Amino acid sequence: MDAKVGRLRGESGGKPILLNVGRLVGYKGQRYAIEALRGLDAQLWLVGTGPLEGELRKLAAENGVAGRVRFLGDVGDADLPAIYHACDVFVFPSVSPNEAFGLAQVEAMACGKPVVACNLRSGVPYVCLNDETGLIVRPGDAEALSMAIRRILSSESLRLRLGEAGR
């Protein structure tokens, strides 16, 4: 897997990789991750498909970040761990308690990745413990999302501490 992770990291052009895994539907909040990317020197990789893909591609273009957003589509279970290991931060911007738990954030944590998630009335903030395994922000707030991601990316010690605690 190390070779696959290295190849994936090489595809980022040296930029940090933000990852989201989930269906491309409204309550998953990927739009806020795309908007947050405006203030970051990073790439956003979206794994999954769904009815909002076209709208999200358009949003990325409108925000001037289309060249830094990769739509990876459906990824098989055999390839997904390498993508988790290649990322720097797992971004979980869901905006509704329809996101009851968030298995994808648990998978990212199992790979030692810090999570930025939203403070929902659901199991999400019980999995991502603020300032222990990740950072929690207000739902639907792209600026708060951007600031939390920037905080993690700017501190290797924080990134490693949150990732190890999650693992």
Cβ–Cβ under 8 Å, residues 117 and 102: yes
In angstroms, the CA 102 to CA 65 distance is 26
Contact by Cβ (8 Å): 93, 32:
yes
Nearest C-alpha neighbor of 148 from the set 132, 136, 164, 160: 136
pLDDT tens digit sequence for 124-139: 999 999 999 999 999 9
Residues 34-50: pLDDT tens digits? 999 999 999 999 999 99
> pTM of the full predicted structure?
0.97
**Block residue for tokens 């979206």:** 46
Q: Which H helix or E strand runs over 40?
A: none
